[in-house]
Structure 1
Amino acid sequence: MIATILLSIGIVFLAELGDKSQLMALTFALRYRWWVVLGGIATATALVHVISVAVGHFLGAALPTGVIALVAALMFLGVGVWTLRENWTAPEPDDEPKPPRSSKAPYFVVLSAFLLAELGDRTMFATAALATDNNWFGVWLGSTIGMVAADALAIAVGILIGKHLPERAIGLAAGLLFLYFGAATLLTTVFPGLGLVAGAALAAVVPAVIGGVLLIRRVRRRAPKLVRTSV
């Protein structure tokens, strides 16, 4: 059992390094409190790896990963649009203060995003493969610990970055990153033959264009204020 747990921790931890899950964890850490993000990730990971273990150890069948990926892509795009809208409509530093916005249940946002993102991901297949020849509980426990540990590193990076950036800039950057995740997931799902580099480049066009539009609008929005101040 202990050997299975340690093996699962090592394999999943290494598989998660540089994966989109770490980028998602970092992005969420820029927006929400670290324990909320970690709690959502841990819950989603435990649920996904239960499915992985069942698939590998009991069923030996695959999930409809294409449909799941499409739903995940749409969710990423939706979260990106919502995040940009929330931060874009926030008052400027010199504007009149407005009442604070109500909470949008960040725990469930993190939970659902990771749940959809990890279904059909390489980590899920690695966990399913481990469960075919090893103790299923040890694989589940070790893979969950390994993934949470890898994403905790990304959360720590997000906390360090967040201390040196304005809150509004963090929110806009997070929204653009989610648009990128959504576009990349959508492209790789709809066009499976698309290469990794080509898919990443095409996906980057979406946040680049939207970010450019927002920047232009921001300049135009501030121009009348600068004129009035100079007069």
Structure 2
Amino acid sequence: MEALSLSTLIVALAEIGDKTQLLALLLAARFRKPWPIIFGILLATVANHALAAAIGAWVSSQFSPEVLRWTLGLSFFAIAAWTLVPDSMDEEDAGWYRHGAFVATLVLFFLAEIGDKTQVATVALAAQFSDTLMVIAGTTLGMLLANVPVVLLGHFAADRLPLNIIRAVAACLFVAMGLYVLLD
């Protein structure tokens, strides 16, 4: 349960104000069809985070516990710093809109998550916890917790969230995880 709950909390907070949350807002405004967008987010996240978790599990099997501990601890510190930087959207993604809400969401979310802080966090969490399925479930749930309200409520929710405070809380959680790993 620790892998599930921690993965959910970390990704949900890190995702607020992230480019994929902005993408969810744009898709919701563009298509006004929340369910295909939500299903696209779900499938794209499961696929992307399963790949990330597999990489994390592989990495944990390739290094000694000491090297892994320092790498993970420092990775969480780097993700904490990265969390404090607001994301923006690329205009080149608009070409996928012609394929409909589900396909556009599926492809754009999968691509937007490549190298994103939540994907890197998934790699680190999977390297830390042996239960990769719980990590995938937790990071996916965290993505949904952050993005589904944006899809359903549009500008109403996004405009009223204190993004700087949420980014700071998420960064503190990543620093805490880094300290936990290093001091464990």
Q: TM-score range by the shorter chain?
A: 0.5 to 0.7
**TM value normalised by structure 1:** 0.51
> Counterparts of 1:1-231 in structure 2 under 5 Å?
2-32=1-31, 33-59=33-59, 76-80=90-94, 104-134=99-129, 135-158=131-154
| Native 8 Å contact 1:48 1:119 kept in 2 | yes
CA RMSD of aligned residues (A): 2.4
Q: Which of the two has higher C-alpha Rg? A: 1
| Native 8 Å contact 1:17 1:150 kept in 2 | yes
Report the Cα distance in structure 2 between the residues aligned to 1:153 and 1:159, rounded to whole angstroms: 10
| Native 8 Å contact 1:46 1:144 kept in 2 | yes
Post-superposition offset of 1:21:
1.0
Post-superposition offset of 1:108:
0.9
Report the Cα distance in structure 2 between the residues aligned to 1:106 and 1:12, rounded to whole angstroms: 24
Structure 1 residues without counterparts, runs of 5 or longer: 62-75, 84-102, 162-231
Partner SS for 1:47? helix
Aligned in 2, Cα 1:8/1:82: closer, same or farther, shift over 3 Å? closer
Over the matched positions of the two proteins, sequence identity in percent amounts to 35
- The aligned amino acid for 2:144 is V
Report the Cα distance in structure 2 between the residues aligned to 1:82 and 1:147, rounded to whole angstroms: 21
**TM-superposition CA deviations, 1:175-224 (whole Å, max 9, x none):** xxxxxxxxxxxxxxxxxxxxxxxxxxxxxxxxxxxxxxxxxxxxxxxxxx
Report the Cα distance in structure 1 between the residues aligned to 2:109 and 2:96, rounded to whole angstroms: 17
Whose relative contact order is higher, 1 or 2, with alpha carbons under 8 Å and at least 6 apart? 2
**TM value normalised by structure 2:** 0.63
| Native 8 Å contact 2:96 2:104 kept in 1 | no
Aligned in 2, Cα 1:156/1:124: closer, same or farther, shift over 3 Å? same
Aligned in 2, Cα 1:82/1:58: closer, same or farther, shift over 3 Å? closer
- The aligned amino acid for 1:30 is A
| Native 8 Å contact 1:127 1:139 kept in 2 | yes
Aligned in 2, Cα 1:82/1:21: closer, same or farther, shift over 3 Å? closer
Structure 1 runs (4+) greater than 4 angstroms displaced? none
Aligned in 2, Cα 1:50/1:159: closer, same or farther, shift over 3 Å? same
Partner SS for 2:154? helix
